[in-house]
Structure 1
Amino acid sequence: MKPHSIGGQSAATTSPAEYDEAALRHDLAAAYRMIALMGMDDSIYTHISARLADGPDGQKRFLLNPFGLRFDEVTASTLVTIDELGNVLDDPYGAGVNAAGFTIHSAVHMARHDATCVLHTHTVAGVAISSVKEGLLPLNQWSAQFHGAIAYHDYEGIALDLDERSRIVSDLGAKNVMFLRNHGVLVCGRTIAEAVRLALNLERSCKAQIAALSMGLTPAPLSDNVAAHTAGQYASSYDEIIRSGNDPEWMAMLRLLDGKTPGYAA
């Protein structure tokens, strides 16, 4: 297992139980910058959260972006610590958090202790696919990885009602990808790196579906057997990354960020 480091290595492939807060902050800030760099942010809205180790008294805690900062402005030191009730425990930036972000992310973190990271976006492609009854179709290799692994949650308005948390959790179940209908997408990762990888691949899948269906030609979806086989291949690859602690794709992303937006680690 690779040691924690804020420099050349990353906590991204370390098991969630072994994450330390400094490593979590580093990788979570990197996730915000990568989503911004890929054009998947939405002004100051949407969130990527990470679960911290419980506090001394068993208090559930997680990190969220401060309200008002763009994703490309988030740094490791400005991330806000909140508890499962939405109480702000530590707020270096001093702006608090978005209530809607607390509702969605706290629901998942409290129910899914395997999810170190929860990532939610409002991209044009993701919202478009969330707005059609058919959802994501198995049209290509990218989308095949999500075969049988997507949950759907019906839109109830802006997520400010804490009662919605139980329905979000019920609809998500044990899956790691959920379309919030008419709203956007949500992914869970055992590590921050895994959540970012799923989000990027899901975004490409949505874009590819929109592009394919816009041509006016006949779609050629993969068979259930082929899609299921491909999904299993992806799952095995992701499991191996977690098992081995070796994630060259995430390290490549960090090198990209170090070159383009190095301030994220501050």
Structure 2
Amino acid sequence: MTEYPKPERYSDNEWEARVSLAAAYRMVARLGLDDLIYNHISMRVPGTTDQFLINPYGLLFSEITASSLVKINTRGEVIEDTEYTVNKAAFVIHAAVHKSSETAHCVLHTHSDASTAVSGQPDGLLPLSQFAMRFYNRQGFHDYEGVAIDEAEQQRIVAHLGDNPVMLMRNHGILTVGRTAGEAFMLLYYFERAAKIQLQMQAACASGVPLVIPDHDVCEKAARQFWELKGDILIPGEREWPALMRDLDRVDPGYRA
């Protein structure tokens, strides 16, 4: 594998965060969950409370590298030399969440097809599969207010997210929050899988096949198993992320540049 040395201007911790975040962008693109140059994933700069890294506006997710990520603060100010700008909506959404929680280290927002489709359904993601059980009673909802460029919307974004790991932005997309890039990515992955299954089941239901929804107590039990890490269950990404990184290094190592 080609070696990509750490630039001297970055600390070891910041560079590790940059590499992990760039990997998340590439993985989202590989799954086809990106939206050209739009959507965004951010990562808090280690050791800070008011700085985060985000994608340069104008690059595809598949082009993003560790060194191209833009460092901004929660006031929307770019705080290092760069040739790039930052999407206004990216600042509004991500700064709001980073400011609201000390554990919101990585914030991911996409317009992925299946998640967006269920965002327009009254109950959002239904407990129709084991993938979906992780999110049972653990999804927030934020009504569509137009393109998210109004900073007044930040308060409502935070209030509607609450303590949930995932929020459906109605008629818009999905937002996931993780302690790591791996966690935020895996929450998107599992939610999108669950949303696709839901749409397939609903299509079958439309042609006369009834839906089977497990009892509330069973759904809640399954959700608690996931979030309380019962058995051999780990935090999302803790087991999957290293394997995904190894795979990315084999096929697309340029994200480390």
Normalising by the residue count of structure 2, what TM-score does the alignment of the two structures yield?
Answer: 0.90
Does residue 247 of structure 2 align to residue 249 of structure 1? no
Does residue 55 of structure 2 align to residue 62 of structure 1? no
Distance verdict in 2 for CA 1:211–1:240, change over 3 Å = closer
Match of residue 187 from structure 1: 176
| Pairing of 1:59-138 with structure 2 (within 5 A) | 60-92=50-82, 94-138=83-127
Q: Shift of residue 240 of structure 1? A: 6.7
8 Å Cα contact 1:54-1:61 kept in structure 2: no
8 Å Cα contact 1:126-1:203 kept in structure 2: yes
Q: Which amino acid aligns with 1:84?
A: T
* Partner Cα distance (1:237, 1:256) in 2: 26
Q: What stretches of structure 2 of length at least 5 have no aligned partner? A: 4-11
Does residue 22 of structure 2 align to residue 29 of structure 1? yes
1:147 to 136, 139, 144: 136
Question: After superposition, what is the alpha-carbon deviation per residue over 1:62-94, rounded to whole angstroms, capped at 9, x for unaligned?
Answer: 0000000000100000000000110001254x1
Q: Shift of residue 137 of structure 1? A: 0.5
* Partner Cα distance (2:70, 2:254) in 1: 17
Percentage identity across aligned positions? 44
Q: Shift of residue 236 of structure 1? A: 2.7
Question: After superposition, what is the alpha-carbon deviation per residue over 1:71-122, rounded to whole angstroms, capped at 9, x for unaligned?
Answer: 0100000000000110001254x12110001000000000011111000010
Secondary structure of 1:226's counterpart equals helix
Match of residue 8 from structure 2: none
* Partner Cα distance (1:98, 1:248) in 2: 32
8 Å Cα contact 2:183-2:238 kept in structure 1: no
* Partner Cα distance (1:64, 1:91) in 2: 14
* Partner Cα distance (1:177, 1:252) in 2: 23
Match of residue 6 from structure 2: none
Does residue 210 of structure 2 align to residue 221 of structure 1? no
8 Å Cα contact 1:130-1:179 kept in structure 2: yes
Secondary structure of 1:86's counterpart equals coil
* Partner Cα distance (2:115, 2:251) in 1: 25
Does residue 149 of structure 2 align to residue 160 of structure 1? yes
* Partner Cα distance (2:23, 2:196) in 1: 23
Match of residue 4 from structure 1: none
Question: After superposition, what is the alpha-carbon deviation per residue over 1:27-86, rounded to whole angstroms, capped at 9, x for unaligned?
Answer: 00000001001110000000000011355xxx7100000000000100000000000110
* Partner Cα distance (1:154, 1:53) in 2: 32
8 Å Cα contact 2:142-2:160 kept in structure 1: yes
Secondary structure of 1:78's counterpart equals coil
Q: Which amino acid aligns with 1:73?
A: E
Q: Which amino acid aligns with 2:24?
A: A
Give the number of aligned pairs: 243
Match of residue 9 from structure 2: none
Superposed CA RMSD: 2.0
* Partner Cα distance (2:30, 2:87) in 1: 22
Question: After superposition, what is the alpha-carbon deviation per residue over 1:214-263, rounded to whole angstroms, capped at 9, x for unaligned?
Answer: 11310101211111111111113399745xxx933111100111112110
* Partner Cα distance (1:167, 1:174) in 2: 13
Q: Which amino acid aligns with 2:222?
A: T
* Partner Cα distance (1:151, 1:46) in 2: 19
Distance verdict in 2 for CA 1:233–1:71, change over 3 Å = same
Q: Shift of residue 135 of structure 1? A: 1.0
8 Å Cα contact 1:60-1:83 kept in structure 2: yes
Secondary structure of 2:95's counterpart equals helix
Secondary structure of 2:200's counterpart equals helix
